Copies of this chain bind each other. A is one copy, B any other.
């Protein structure tokens, strides 16, 4: 005799409130994106996927969410142009179909992402790792119309040199140099020497909205984050590379705040054609070498507001 399983989820709950987000977190997949002639992109993303739940239903049909993720991940393999933010958007669409009671669906993704860099002097090529992040939110209005907003971003490690500490070391050394140098020679020495500062690993993050038919490349975001710090870092540095990295970084000292400002400027320069309501998050966390704690700076804004703040004219 066949067992007829009950649909406990479909019951009405005793406490009848609408829930903001119900779903799964930590769903890991392997994702291979063909790129035509180029090397395929390989990711091992972790997904979170949520729907809202009306007050008259006890539970969501939980298995439909990992199912939607699986289906989309299986289908994208052969699509040579899709971006990770569009994969999130596709999962959102699939979930809106499967969870017919949901009015809001949200999908977040984060993955290791491999890119290559050359060391600055000996040009050794090295695989480097960043975090690629993406998300999409779909809203279904009362007429069944669906609006989806999606974002892509990255989290990248670089090197930051503190300008304040470097200034103070320079000043302390200047006083000592003036004990045996004249003002003019001293000035030349100060211009020549690479003064110490504290420096450390910094982690820069950008997350930027992408309109339906435009494109923002993850690689470009990574370049912008890297170039907003004192120096990129590299896994493979021979001695002349290490020297160049340290000297270049100390010629370009930046506060945690400056990293955010640099990212803002570069994003506007690169993506000034995106809509004014494009939401962007910029964040920098420096693992201060002189403290146990971290330094942090953040800017959350729309592209339009950023342009306004900076009196940007194209």
Name which of A198, A237, A306 has the most chain B CB atoms within 10 A of its CB.
A198
- The smallest C-beta distance from A135 to any residue of chain B, in angstroms, reads 15
| Interface membership of chain A positions 283-304, coded 1 if the CB is closer than 8 angstroms to chain B and 0 otherwise | 0010111111111111111000
CB contacts under 8 Å to B, within A1-37, are 1, 3-6, 8-9, 13-30, 32
Question: What is the CA–CA distance of A59 and B260 in the complex, to the nearest angstrom?
Answer: 11
Residue contact B164 to A70, C-beta cutoff 8 Å? no
Copies of this chain, whole number: 4
Residue contact B233 to A290, C-beta cutoff 8 Å? yes
Residue contact B129 to A294, C-beta cutoff 8 Å? no
- The smallest C-beta distance from A228 to any residue of chain B, in angstroms, reads 11
Residue contact B42 to A292, C-beta cutoff 8 Å? no
A residues adjacent to B (C-beta < 8 A): 1, 3-6, 8-9, 13-30, 32, 42, 44, 48, 50, 53, 55, 58-60, 62-63, 66-67, 70, 73, 112, 114, 124, 126-129, 157, 159, 161, 163-169, 171-173, 175-177, 180-181, 185, 188-189, 192-201, 231, 233-240, 242-243, 245-247, 249-250, 255-258, 260-262, 264-265, 285, 287-301, 306, 309-310
